[in-house]
Structure 1
């Protein structure tokens, strides 16, 4: 073999070694590529704005992403934001997430990974419901007052405050119907016609809706079907809201009686206050019922037999509209006007705090304002709409005013949820939402054709 032949052989051998080395090196480079793993992903509104942090929930798994958005969100028109590059889909593109979408994610380098994105509506929350004098029932998003849906009827929804159970709202109307509406969509599930107008607010317990009517009857209606189970007839019309406690139904009538029925509609006892009980509704605490009457008294009645435990008389004003509440062993209520005198000398009533045990006075405040509304309590403060057109926030311990606003709520009982108070305000042509601690207006929803609204029902940020 010549020297030239040996040299060519060596060159060929070296080329083979180089090829094998480079092939092996490339394989090693692939194994060292960083893992593709998405750690940040969220959805946006079509205009590119973000959901509130507690409105949206994102769960990133090994090869899938599950997202919960507010229940009324249009799933067919959403944008996204991700920390890694998404092949095929642009962040500026509006996408349809009503069905799962496959995203291919690419981090640094050529490696990719597929994720299945599934978007669903969260449970019902952050909603406020109320009825208006304008023959409309409203559903608003309580973060900003945006209307989600409304429902039209022939009569007035502003007297009967809605009740809620298992995704259904129940509201009475002056057209005599009790309506059952789907809470998510506002669709009518059923309606039941009573023999008179309904201003009583319904109560739902164990699949039965209880509501009073101006035809003098209390109705027990199947919550699912709208079929009546039984009725009970009183001596006069019923404004008062029924209360169900320990398998007993307690309610009052304008005939002056407080009634106790079994859940099958059988009377157990009745107590005569001696005068009209209009919108005053029973407050049941352990074995005592508290209720007011036009006599000017607030009564404490034994639940077992209807015997009177004690009574306290307001300094001025009827108690037929008193809607007492309890907090830390203290009963809070308001009085209306002394009907023995005509205006302007009819002695407007006050706000009271009394001991639940014996009726002894703790304090009396907001004198001579007059009230056809009842109080609500949250975080140590009491909220009440007075007939001077203002909502008052007062300290429960002292009765001192924390803040007040003129809103002309016209007798609405405020609702307080998640440190926001919803006091109505139809007289000012708006439904309002205030910061409960400071009185700062959060938003106002226009209701140009409604002078009054019903007591709001609110589903808070946790779905309760």
Structure 2
């Protein structure tokens, strides 16, 4: 199972439909940074999407542990303690599971036992997804490099990363969207066979702080951006992935309720940039769907960029979306009056279809595997829901 699915589309082929019930939930360790001595009871800053392979769920947590849980019961098959918090999305192949840690190591563990097979030490924290693409294990070190390792942990080559943090990427047709260039002001599609950039995207023309992981559909590549300067500013883009020509762009000032003051918005932005799927698009039929930058979910026409629908909630959206069977699933924050929720809306028109109160706010897009929805919250609670009927 790949991060955001094939082509980064943020969708599942599952036919799951509400109502959903809690199959099981567990409370993870509440301590914050494993190496910083944070006080017990802190909210988690991140709990990025897990990977589900067969009957096992694999994920790392802010408590520094990497978990393998039985999908049916929540039984802990094994747990591995890294040297720091884990804000990396793992990759699992037939025999091994790979993930990065803020201790600067890329770990390869036995999928069955959780025993360390090897690790690779970098010069910085690893806050990215890990992906096996053909004969490479690919991941990014913060303001360090994009690493391409062999499956046995030997470095094959690197691409400079002069200043990007919490960096995510899409691998498609032997091209990385996007590779970091020698200057922090540009990125570009990087051909891993030719080991060169096909074109460069000059971020000075967009001027945003955060750039999401991309999604690809046909000739186009889609991504979202976010900035905070007292108010939230969101951008939505489509580029031709072969020529670098901008096909359309849309911009929105963030929508928030009256209770969301300057300080709240600033904290919300800082919370979001810990999440590797912040502003990630989901593709469904002829729509590009975004959620997570403010209190709204939006769908744009994939070809023209015209706004097709917008659904505004009473509180900010807490996670990126996942689409399955024409339904969009994501989290909404709680406030002093209402608890956080997992919500389900129609992909066709944005109409609210179903919602469920959760213990804590979702921290990333829910993962849909078969008839189950899987996610973690900032209250250190990990959920597995299943279709009732």
Report the TM-score, using the length of structure 2 for normalisation. 0.75
1:451 aligns with 361
For 1:266-281, what aligned pairs fall within 5 Å after superposition?
266-278=154-166, 280-281=167-168
User: Which residue of 22, 25, 31 maps to 1:147?
Assistant: 22
Residue 186 (structure 2) pairs with residue 297 (structure 1): yes
1:344 aligns with 230
Give ranges in structure 2 of 5+ residues lacking alignment. Answer: 1-13, 31-43, 255-268, 273-277, 373-385
Residue 259 (structure 2) pairs with residue 353 (structure 1): no
1:362 aligns with 247
Give ranges in structure 1 of 5+ residues lacking alignment. Answer: 1-124, 128-141
User: Which residue of 267, 284, 299 maps to 1:378?
Assistant: 284
C-alpha distance 416-443 of structure 1, shift in aligned 2 (>3 A) = same
1:183 aligns with 71
For 1:175-254, what aligned pairs fall within 5 Å after superposition?
175-254=63-142
Q: Deviations 1:316-347 (Å, cap 9, x if unpaired)?
A: 3446542111011211011232xxxx8338x8
For 1:410-449, what aligned pairs fall within 5 Å after superposition?
410=317, 412-427=319-334, 429-447=340-358, 449=359
**Range with bigger deviation, 409-418 or 378-387:** 409-418
2:307 aligns with 401
For 1:16-35, what aligned pairs fall within 5 Å after superposition?
none
Q: How many residues align?
A: 318
For 1:83-98, what aligned pairs fall within 5 Å after superposition?
none
Q: Deviations 1:247-295 (Å, cap 9, x if unpaired)?
A: 21111121242111111111111111321231x3121111210127693
Asked if the contact 1:295–1:318 (Cα under 8 Å) also holds between the matched residues in 2, the reply is no
How many angstroms apart in 1 are the aligned matches of 2:115 and 2:26? Answer: 22
User: Which residue of 296, 309, 326 maps to 1:390?
Assistant: 296
Q: Which has the higher contact order (CA 8 A, sep 6+)?
A: 2
Report the TM-score, using the length of structure 1 for normalisation. 0.63
2:153 aligns with 265
Q: Deviations 1:206-252 (Å, cap 9, x if unpaired)?
A: 23212111111111122111112211122211111012111211111
Asked if the contact 1:382–1:394 (Cα under 8 Å) also holds between the matched residues in 2, the reply is yes
Residue 215 (structure 2) pairs with residue 325 (structure 1): yes
C-alpha distance 168-352 of structure 1, shift in aligned 2 (>3 A) = same
How many angstroms apart in 2 are the aligned matches of 1:325 and 1:163? Answer: 19
CA shift for structure 1 position 178:
0.9
C-alpha distance 390-298 of structure 1, shift in aligned 2 (>3 A) = farther
Asked if the contact 1:420–1:434 (Cα under 8 Å) also holds between the matched residues in 2, the reply is yes
CA shift for structure 1 position 306:
3.7
Asked if the contact 2:98–2:108 (Cα under 8 Å) also holds between the matched residues in 1, the reply is yes
Alpha-carbon RMSD across the aligned residues, in angstroms, is 2.7
How many angstroms apart in 1 are the aligned matches of 2:144 and 2:194? Answer: 17
Q: Deviations 1:390-433 (Å, cap 9, x if unpaired)?
A: 11122111112222223455552211111111122234611111
C-alpha distance 321-213 of structure 1, shift in aligned 2 (>3 A) = farther
